[in-house]
Amino acid sequence: MRAIVLEESDKELIEACRRGDPDAFRALFELHKDQVYSVALRYSGDAAIAQDIAQETFLKLFTRIGSFRGDADFSSWLYRLVVNSCLDQKRKTRRLAPLLDEAIAILQSPAISALDEVVRTELSHHLRSVLEDLADDQRMLLVLRYTQGLSYDEIALILDTSNGTIASRLNRIHRTLERRLSRFATRKDRHHA
Binding part of the chain for other proteins, among 5-13, 73-81, 125-133, 157-165 by CB under 8 A, reads 125-133
Per CB under 8 A, contacts with other proteins among 82-111 are: 85, 88-89, 96, 99, 105
Binding part of the chain for other proteins, among 2-10, 52-60, 110-118, 154-162 by CB under 8 A, reads 52-60
124 binds other proteins (CB under 8 A): yes
- In the complex with other proteins, the residue whose CB is nearer, 7 or 178, is 178
Binding part of the chain for other proteins, among 41-49, 71-79, 110-118, 154-162 by CB under 8 A, reads 41-49
- Residue 53 beta carbon to other proteins: minimum distance, rounded to whole angstroms: 8
Binding-site size for other proteins (CB under 8 A) equals: 50
Q: Is the dihedral of CA 127, 129, 130, 132 positive or negative?
A: positive
Binding part of the chain for other proteins, among 7-15, 39-47, 75-83, 159-167 by CB under 8 A, reads 39-47
What DSSP string describes the chain? ---SSPPHHHHHHHHHHHTT-HHHHHHHHHHHHHHHHHHHHHHH--HHHHHHHHHHHHHHHHHHGGGS-TTS-HHHHHHHHHHHHHHHS-GGG--PPPPTTHHHHHHHS----HHHHHHHHHHHHHHHHHHHTS-HHHHHHHIIIIIS---HHHHHHHHTS-HHHHHHHHHHHHHHHHHHHHHHHHHHHHHH-
What x-and-dash track marks residues 57-76 binding other proteins by CB under 8 A? -xxx-xx-------------
* Residue in 143, 155, 18, 167 with CA at minimum distance from that of residue 75: 155
Interface residues with other proteins (CB under 8 A) are 20, 22, 25-26, 29, 33-38, 41-42, 47, 51-56, 58-60, 62-63, 85, 88-89, 96, 99, 105, 123-124, 127-128, 131, 142-143, 145-148, 174, 177-178, 181, 185-186, 188-189
